[in-house]
Structure 1
Amino acid sequence: MERIKQLTLVDDDDVFVYLTKKTIKKTNRVDLINDFGNGLDAINFLKENWDDVDELPDILFLDLSMPIMDGWQFLNEFVKINPFMAKKIHIYICSSSISPEDMAMAKTIKEVSDFIIKPIHKEKLLDLITSV
């Protein structure tokens, strides 16, 4: 199985970030896990490293409800810079929202690979990591 060089969590929920990191580390398939507490910090990181394959994540887990810049605002910015990115980033929305509107909206954004409702079970995380 191929290893994931880098995975990024964009979520302001410290417990979710901690537990997700711990679970991902146990898979022994991800070299580096970055996390950002809001979409603005994450999008700025991507803009600063758009041409550096080694710095860009392979997978990005995105929460919708965050301070400063929420997940939808992040996606609006990401869609603009995505054509210039040095590699494809698989974005998974990870949200506690069960809103049909949110799910429908996510399906209209081609950069979003899937919409996952929290909590994310260990098996689902492993499936996501191994499917990339």
Structure 2
Amino acid sequence: MKTYLIDDDDLGIYLTEQLLRAEGFSNCISTFQSATEALTTLVGEKKAAPPDVVFLDLNMPVMNGWEFLDALKPYQDELAGRCHIYILTSSLALSDMEKAKRYTLVAGLIHKPIDSEEIRAIHSRLAGEPNNGE
């Protein structure tokens, strides 16, 4: 399963990546500290092999998570059902949950730090979908 991890926090990336590897979640993890860089890579790969899962931090400089999602809107038809975005946030704001529902590519909102149980739940949800090989 191809996975993108987008977060501007070094420690957050490291811990999440280690947890994903320990849980056997993904055999291909790409990390990005810049949503702009991740967007460029994803758009370049969208036809051939977009990531199955994107873990996206909301609060980042230059381009935040919401801006990343807005920038993906022209590609959402191509990515729908192929690329599942999970927002990672330390915010408990209900407005974030409501806003996330407006984006068709967002599969869920996860409060940081992500834990093993959450990773296993996402993995089993995705493993049950058709056309989602590992």
**Distance of 2:47 and 2:79 partners within structure 1:** 6
Q: Give TM-score scaled by structure 1 length.
A: 0.88
Aligned residue number for residue 49 of structure 1:
45
Are 1:108 and 2:102 an aligned pair?
A: yes
State the match for 2:114 in structure 1: 120
Alignment equivalent of 1:58, drawn from 52, 55, 74: 52
The whole-number CA distance in structure 2 between the counterparts of 1:29 and 1:39 is 22
Q: For this pair of structures, how many residues does the alignment match? A: 126
For the aligned residue pairs, the C-alpha RMSD in angstroms reads 1.5
Query: 4+ residue runs of structure 1 moved beyond 6 angstroms?
Result: none
| AA matched with 2:20 | I
Deviation at 1:87, TM superposition (A): 6.3
Give the counterpart of 1:80 among 74, 85, 91.
74
Give ranges in structure 2 of 5+ residues lacking alignment: 127-134
Describe the SS at the equivalent of 1:33. Answer: strand
The Cα offsets for residues 29-86 of structure 1, whole Å up to 9 and x where unpaired, read as 4111001112111111111112112xx2100001100111100000001121122349
The 3-state SS of whatever aligns with 1:30 is coil
Identity %: 33
